[in-house]
Structure 1
């Protein structure tokens, strides 16, 4: 983990677009065991780069989430698990509900599927 994406995550939080509810780091060791990782100084400047997320623990993530993430990890690799709220969505959703709309479905499109669909549309 290089920490390259964290400034982007911090920017989303700073701009009020998302709120971090849980942030957890896991590492799968070469022997297959999984351990939690501490938030650390990612740039080596002596500063805790992710202090903005200190205490981000809603309790939504549990051992089952860690175990599921571990199945996707190769030995010797690590991952971050983040639960976030799209803060931009709340006022939008509330306005729609006030006007009589209702949610009938929800979902996320995985990035690789979106890229494949866009590539196919261009072809």
Structure 2
């Protein structure tokens, strides 16, 4: 293989209350896909009713209702039953989640360069945005205030 067909792929679940994702969530996903930043490989919607029953819907069945319109998946079926079972435990009654499988198109060139050079990613970890923002806010609060003394103009 001369070149990798896909860049790094990530599976994650965006949780929310109610049956369907908020329009802001849908808009953010569509913006990333339309900009070519990510490629949507698979998307499932998992909901747990108040009585505990679990419902799993594929994009094709509910995409129009949730605002995804005619978006097409690049490789439907990547998220399997084991994945759904694993996330189902995290979904409490009255909560839903969108299980997204996305290719990080922005990282494909780097992945290709590593692959062609015989290298590999030795470690990768995703830090959730709220955690990064909390750490940065704490660091900013602890930073000494910069001196505001005026310098004479010559």
Q: TM-score range by the shorter chain?
A: 0.7 to 0.9
Question: Which residue is 2:69 aligned to?
Answer: 50
Relative distance call for 1:62 and 1:102 in structure 2 (3 A) is closer
Quick check: 1:25–1:80 contact (8 Å CA) kept in 2? Answer: yes
Alignment partner of 1:66 is 2:90: no
- With normalisation by structure 1, the TM-score equals 0.78
Q: What is the CA-CA distance between 1:11 and the residue it aligns to?
A: 1.7
Residue ranges of structure 2 left out of the alignment (5+ in a row): 1-20, 142-154
Contact 1:23 1:56 in 2 (8 A): no
Distance 1:34 1:85 in 2: 27
Larger radius of gyration: 2
Aligned residues: 117
- Output aligned runs, 1:95-106, within 5 Å: 95-97=113-115, 102-106=120-124
- Does the CA-based 8 Å contact 2:39-2:74 persist in structure 1? no
Q: In structure 1, the residue corresponding to 2:124 is in which secondary structure?
A: coil
Query: Residue 30 of structure 2 corresponds to which residue in structure 1?
Result: 10
TM-score normalized by the length of structure 2? 0.64
How far apart in 1 are the matches of 2:54 and 2:140?
42
What stretches of structure 1 of length at least 5 have no aligned partner? 43-47
